[in-house]
Amino acid sequence: MTSFFEAENPLEERLGKAFFEKLPTAPGIYKMFGRGDHLLYIGKAKNLRSRLFTYRRASGANCSRKVWKLVRMVQHITLEQLSSEEEALLRENELIRRHRPPFNHAKKAPETYYYISAVPEREEIVFDLNMDLREKARGHTYGAFKGHRRVRRALGALLRQLYIMERLVGTPFDLPVQLTRSLTPVHYRLEVARPRHPLLHDYFYGSSDRLLYRIIEDHLDNSRLEKFIGKLILKDMEALRWFYDRAARRNFKIREMLGLGNSLIPQEKLDDYLVMLAFED
């Protein structure tokens, strides 16, 4: 029985040597099909020849199990040449959303990208994490945000830090159970001092990270960083910094680039907008 590491790469035998010899060096996308013309994977390349030769050279010893499984299942490959890497990325996004191939995991489910709402109600803020827009909260909703686990983790970090500041918490053991679980609550009501409301808006909107500095200042003023709770605070601040830089601020730049004003970014448009932002001059 042939082992996982001893199996030979079948691509040249199946596709033919001429297929690889004639590969273009242009940007484009490629589709990999299995038996019965079943679409397995869609990829993009700045250089199609270079990219597909990596599959030709793949073996059980030098690539992931996922890639090796894909290589062994491929029966034929089709190409689509495009004029630029940006066009290739946009085309890849479009096709992945349309066909949802089994070996593509990213970008094929934009309906799972999050919206966050933070609705003021007197002295409280009502936080909600949703995958769809809620009409009643539309004026206080932000997103869409990509990065399921990290977005949810960042919201949990924010809720904890606000609770610590508002309640003058000095130890993690004084936090409510909902805010100590690994799974962030999708709905939470929290009293937040009114001067902090605009800071929250600016943070989620991506126009200012002043909120993060205010949080750190409050912890320094109350000497929390030197205490046992300090480790939790620093871990939460890392999550909040990631969210601002990689989600909120990036969305702000997209809105500026496209002249979207205060508009929310539709889930199904976010991946394409991120490509356009990456290639902005």
261 or 135, greater pLDDT: 261
Residue 276 has pLDDT above 60, yes or no: yes
Residue 202 has pLDDT above 90, yes or no: yes
| Domain count along the chain | 2
Q: In Å, how far from its chain's centre is CA 13?
A: 38
Report yes or no on 5 lying in a domain. no
What phi and psi values does residue 211 have, to the nearest 5 degrees? Answer: -55, -40
Question: What pLDDT is recorded for position 136?
Answer: 59
For residues 117 and 238, membership in a common domain is answered with yes
Output the CA torsion 112→208→251→178 (10° steps): 0
Confidence of residue 4 (pLDDT cuts 50, 70, 90): very low
Q: Which among 29, 64, 99 is the end of a domain?
A: 99
135 or 274, greater pLDDT: 274
For residues 150 and 250, membership in a common domain is answered with yes
Q: Which among 72, 99, 126 is the end of a domain?
A: 99
Specify the CATH number for the domain of residue 18. 3.40.1440.10
Span 24-68, pLDDT tens digits:
999 999 999 999 999 999 999 999 999 999 999 999 888 999 999
For residues 67 and 200, membership in a common domain is answered with no
What percentage of the chain has pLDDT greater than the value 90? Answer: 86
For residues 160 and 78, membership in a common domain is answered with no
Span 227-245, pLDDT tens digits:
999 999 999 999 999 999 9
Lowest mean pLDDT among 86-95, 125-134, 169-178: 125-134
Cα distances (Å, whole numbers) of residue 239 to 4, 119, 153, 191, 258: 39, 22, 7, 22, 27
Residue 190, amino acid? L
Q: Whole domain around residue 229: which residue ranges?
A: 110-278
Report yes or no on 172 lying in a domain. yes
Distance CA 251, CA 206 (A): 7
Distance CA 115, CA 132 (A): 7
Q: Which helix (H) or strand (E) holds 73?
A: helix 65-73
Report yes or no on 245 lying in a domain. yes
Rg (CA), the chain: 24
213 contacts 157 by C-beta, under 8 angstroms: no
Question: What pLDDT is recorded for position 137?
Answer: 65
Report yes or no on 4 lying in a domain. no
Distance CA 200, CA 215 (A): 11
Residue 176, amino acid? P
Q: Which residue has the tokens 């949080």?
A: 215
For residues 225 and 145, membership in a common domain is answered with yes
Output the CA torsion 257→262→266→267 (10° steps): 90
Lowest mean pLDDT among 7-21, 125-139, 160-174: 125-139
For residues 163 and 215, membership in a common domain is answered with yes
Residue 156 has pLDDT above 90, yes or no: yes
145 contacts 113 by C-beta, under 8 angstroms: yes
Would strands 76-81 and 28-33 be described as parallel, antiparallel, or unpaired? antiparallel
For residues 143 and 37, membership in a common domain is answered with no
How many other C-beta atoms lie within 10 A of the C-beta of residue 30?
A: 20
Residue 3 has pLDDT above 50, yes or no: no
Q: Which among 58, 74, 99 is the end of a domain?
A: 99
For residues 265 and 162, membership in a common domain is answered with yes
Distance CA 101, CA 201 (A): 38
- DSSP letter for each residue of 187-238: EEEEE--GGGHHHHHHHHHTS--HHHHHHHHHHHHTT-TTSTTHHHHHHHHH
Question: What pLDDT is recorded for position 138?
Answer: 67
Question: Which residues are registered as beta bridge partners of 229?
Answer: none
Residue 262 has pLDDT above 80, yes or no: yes
230 contacts 224 by C-beta, under 8 angstroms: yes
What percentage of the chain has pLDDT greater than the value 70? Answer: 95
For residues 47 and 70, membership in a common domain is answered with yes
87 or 148, greater pLDDT: 87
Lowest mean pLDDT among 5-14, 116-125, 133-142: 133-142
Read off the pLDDT of each residue in 84-110 and give the average, rounded to a whole number: 95
Confidence of residue 95 (pLDDT cuts 50, 70, 90): very high
